[in-house]
A = this chain, B = another copy of it.
Amino acid sequence: MRVAIAQVNPTVGDLRGNRRLVEEAAAKAVEAGADMVALPELVLTGYPPMDLLERDGFVRDQLRELEALAAASRRVAIVLGAALPTEERRPRTLVNAAVLLAGGRQIAARAKSLLPSYDVFDEKRYFRRAERRELVSFGKTHLGLTVCEDGWVDELGYNIDPTGELAADGAELVFNLAASPWHVDKAPARRGMIAALAARHSVPLVFVNQVGGNDELVFDGASFACDAGGRILAHLPSFESGFAVVDLDGEGQPPENIADPSHVAQLEAGLVLGIRDYFRKQGLPPGAVVGLSGGIDSAVTAHLAVRALGADRVLGVAMPGPYSSDHSIHDALEVGRLLGIEVREAPIDPVYEAYRELFASLFGERDNYGLAQQNIQARIRGALLMAVSNAEGRLVLATGNKSELSVGYCTLYGDMVGGLAVLGDVYKRDVYAIARFANAAEPRIPESSIDKPPSAELAPDQLDSDDLPPYDVLDAILEQAVEGGLTAASIRPPTGVSAKVVRDVIARVDRNEYKRRQAPLVLRTSTKAFGSGRRLPIVHRYPAD
């Protein structure tokens, strides 16, 4: 059996455009002499379709595209994911199905058995699960059709194993159609897990994953096929569309050697794809605007934006204020020079002074460098970036990192403005790593932006370290709290750090849920990002003080 793997990049809701992606893949498969072509989960709707599934006409329109696709199956069989209505009408229910089209018609459909409903997943909101696993006959071959989570039995401890049941029933080839969102280091672990599943049940397996960014989620692709021994026979790259043909009967085909990208290379590539697709799929031709402070976060954000969009579609704005150091404006301009982007300057002092006079009548000048006076500087900068956005149609990229966003060391409606928080799921230590990685080939981030002590520069001689533990300490605590779900009592303090520091950090994390709720979309890079995968009440009292 010759199977084509089509790792495509669908746009959510673009039913017609996504159908064309399938048709193009089918045409390539015909050309390559394949018997079948496999496409990802819910490829016609794009993943995740969210509440569009409940919108009047959406599923019906998708079914029309599915019917139109049947014609393309006259010359090659197509296995693809689609949302199918069940017989039930009240309540109306759907299944998340793998569909086999062949000979110009729909041959079979099999519903997903395991519906993820944790972190960013809401599938039980939309879908009913399969009660049984059933083989599909394709000519003389028995196929097993599974969908994404159906293959995550080992990792997540489900008590049914669709792949195992299908293999036991005589499946000669199992497909896993996936929309498996990326986080750093997921691809090799996922490949290892699913190949081990194939080996355990002695059945060849084709895993085909969506690629591309859809809102906060980046899908990495990294599709593959393995033989009944779990040996990888074909493998598609991460972070780009791809197509491969694999001969699953060909005995003794040599296994592939796969070099997965490094941690930081994945981070860079994943974020670049997330930015690029956000702009492309939304249709934002004028590009991005980034406030350049001279610090590392904004420099790395601009660097990633240039990689994603090209230097001509990224504008930097330097907005020095009363407490900006001399090197700040110099470093901001240097970012522009290194990246080859336009940088405009707009000193905020006159607006700041006008606000200060108003403050006197509003609440008196109680504290010269207090919170209101600090935050207004960030808010002037945010308003200026939004004014550029309004005037030129550019999208503002927020520059804050995950360490800051965790403890609320950021100003709502100030440095938090924007459509996309590029580094919102990247701890400070990894922002440094991306900067050094970017500079390895050619200078992209000014060395002084990397070397200088981080500062918000909203008060005289201010440093982040006045208000926060050192970032290595902070990040070590945060990772246990955010990714690990631990409370202060259970967190292991980094060496030399007191339990009180841990408690203070965690109290700040809890207290700032309200800021994050109004943050821009955060591109997800970890197992737990701020966004739809983390659902906490704003007002709550746990743990008790």
Contact = CB atoms under 8 A, between A and B. Distances in A.
Contacts of A90: 157
Interface stretch (A10-18, A101-109, A194-202): A10-18
A29 B536 CA distance: 34
A371 interface: yes
Interface centre among A15, A49, A490, A517 (most CB of B within 10 A): A517
Interface centre among A158, A214, A386, A387 (most CB of B within 10 A): A387
B371 A391 contact: yes
Interface in A347-374: 348, 350-351, 353-355, 357-359, 361-363, 366-367, 370-372
Given A13-B537, A490-B56, A379 B383 contact: yes
A544 B486 contact: no
A11 to B, nearest CB: 6
Contact of A281 (B157, B282, B489, B541): B541
Nearest to A159: B88
Interface residues of A, number: 97
B386 A366 contact: no
B51 A536 contact: yes
A391 to B, nearest CB: 4
A50 B536 contact: yes
A344 B359 CA distance: 11
Contact of A489 (B57, B215, B346): B57
A147 B277 CA distance: 44
A384 interface: yes
B345 A363 contact: no
Contacts of A124: 117, 124-125
Contacts of A535: 50-51, 122, 532
Nearest to A90: B157
A259 interface: no
Given A14-B542, A50-B536, A372 B387 contact: yes
A432 interface: no
A310 to B, nearest CB: 19
Contacts of A417: 412-413
A376 interface: yes
A166 to B, nearest CB: 22
Contacts of A317: 362
A361 B384 contact: no
A518 B346 CA distance: 26
A519 interface: yes
Contacts of A490: 56-57
A537 B49 contact: yes
Contacts of A519: 518
Interface string A465-501: 0000000000000000000111101100000000000
Nearest to A412: B386
Nearest to A13: B542
Contacts of A277: 539
A413 B13 CA distance: 28
Interface string A114-137: 000110001011000000000000
Interface in A489-545: 489-490, 514, 517-521, 532, 534-544
Contacts of A61: 542-543
Contact of A375 (B386, B486, B538): B386
A382 interface: yes
B370 A386 contact: no
A390 B371 contact: yes
Interface string A62-93: 00000000000000000000000000001100
B413 A387 contact: no
A338 interface: no
Given A375-B386, A384-B358, A391 B413 contact: no
A312 interface: no
Nearest to A18: B541
Given A90-B157, A384-B358, A390-B372, A15 B51 contact: no
A461 interface: no
Contacts of A386: 375, 379, 412-413
Contacts of A539: 11-12, 214-215, 277-278, 281-282
Interface of A: 11-17, 46, 48-52, 54-58, 61, 90-91, 117-118, 122, 124-125, 156-158, 214-215, 277-278, 281-282, 317, 344-346, 348, 350-351, 353-355, 357-359, 361-363, 366-367, 370-372, 375-376, 379-380, 382-384, 386-388, 390-392, 412-413, 417, 419, 484-487, 489-490, 514, 517-521, 532, 534-544
4 smallest CB-CB distances across A and B, nearest first, come from: A13-B542, A13-B540, A90-B157, A124-B124
24 contacts: A12-B537, A12-B541, A13-B537, A13-B541, A15-B544, A51-B535, A55-B487, A56-B487, A56-B490, A117-B117, A215-B537, A281-B539, A282-B539, A317-B362, A351-B354, A351-B358, A363-B388, A363-B392, A367-B391, A372-B387, A376-B383, A379-B413, A518-B520, A532-B535
